[in-house]
Amino acid sequence: MSESELTLLERAVLNEICRQYPKDQALLEAQVASARVTSRENTGAGFFSDLSVARDPAHKVTAGERTRGWVHARIDGLQYEMGFILFLEDGFLSCLEGYLNGDETTTGLDLVNAAFEITNLAPPAGT
């Protein structure tokens, strides 16, 4: 299976999600530092980036949540912002989902190289 580096968008979103969870920030940042993308799928309604990280027990997130994040971004080529959800499996990053917030499509959009701006930085409740 071929792995690739995180895109600038993926890295910016993941870094913002890390900041939103101060209790787990160092653990999440350590995982992001080792993160590689094993596959990307542009669904037309957004994307999924499957992630592989070093599964160092010292960096495992022990909180029971399976999803994290409250991040939105403006992406060149889209009228509406995209939202993002980070999925964790057994305490480790597993997938980053980007989803559309409007009636448009990501089909044909170069999500790897698209210019963007992170816009919504509201932290989740209870962090």
In this prediction, residue 123 carries a pLDDT of: 57
Least confident of 23-27, 64-68, 69-73: 64-68
Contact partners, residue 98, CB within 8 Å, separation at least 6: 9, 13, 46, 47, 48, 49, 82, 83, 84, 106, 111
pLDDT tens column, 7-47: 999 999 999 999 989 999 999 999 999 999 999 999 999 99
CA angle 98, 12, 30 (to 5 degrees): 105
This prediction has a pTM of: 0.91
pLDDT tens column, 107-121: 999 988 999 999 876
In this prediction, residue 125 carries a pLDDT of: 52
- For the record, the structure tokens of 93 come out as 């990053």
**Residue ranges covered by each domain of the chain:** 8-120
